[in-house]
Structures are given as C-alpha cells and as structure tokens.
Amino acid sequence: MSVIVVGGGLIGSAVAFTLRDAGLEVEVLDADLPGAAWRAAAGLLTPHGERLHGTPLHADALESLSLWPDFARSLEAYGGQSVHFRPGVLHIGRGQGGQESEPAHQSVPEEGSSIRPAWCAPRWRG
C-alpha cells in the first residue's frame, strides 16, 4: 500500500516515519515555503499549556503525551542520535513573589507526568 502525507513538518514527518516503520510506502509532499510553521514549531505536546482540560481533546492529548517517550526512543534508535526529548515545561519568571533573591525558573510537568516541579537557580551571563 502507498500513502501520501501532505506536510513535512513535525506531525507529517512523524506520521510518515510511523507508516514507513509499519512497512508502507510513503511519499511526503511539502511546499517548503518561507515562513512555514514547521520551521519555528517546537514540537510541544502541552495539554495544560493549550488549555485542553475539560475539552473533548484533553484525554487524547494526555494519551499522546504519554506515547512520546517511546516514540522519541524509536527515533533515536533509527537515527543513531539524540532527539533531545525533555519532559515537562520550563516557565521563566522572576521567582515566587517577584523576589530577586529567589530562583527564576520552575520546571512544571504536564498533567499525567511522573516528573515533579523543581525550582532552579538562575544563571545569568554578563
């Protein structure tokens, strides 16, 4: 069976990779236009950040998020290099209560993640 995937961004490429891995013939069509979203997309799955809680997409988004670590490992095994997968989201601010002496970064895990939030000391370059 042959499949045409329209769009060579993160999602189109992931779909093509998965279909090819399943033994299908795949062709990816992409316009490769300047300013295309895939050039700037970070590839984030953030059910909380996208405010999906309470929507019909919330459960699907959480399931997709739970599948990413294994998918990242399969990409790394195939490509022989790291995809730099990092669970959680880094929120940047001035620290709790706006105090300069407090840490400036907080790692916030996505819902359903086993990663716990942790405060990190700021690192400034001058």
Pairs from 64-67 (Cβ < 8 Å, separation ≥ 24)? 65/110, 65/112, 65/113, 66/112
In this structure, the strands spanning 25-29 and 105-108 are unpaired
Per-residue pLDDT of the chain (126 residues; tens, 9 = 90+): 899 999 888 888 889 999 999 999 999 998 877 767 666 666 667 777 778 888 998 889 888 888 888 999 999 999 999 988 877 666 555 555 555 544 444 445 555 555 555 555 556 555
Query: pTM (2 decimals)?
Result: 0.62
Strands 105-108 and 2-6: unpaired
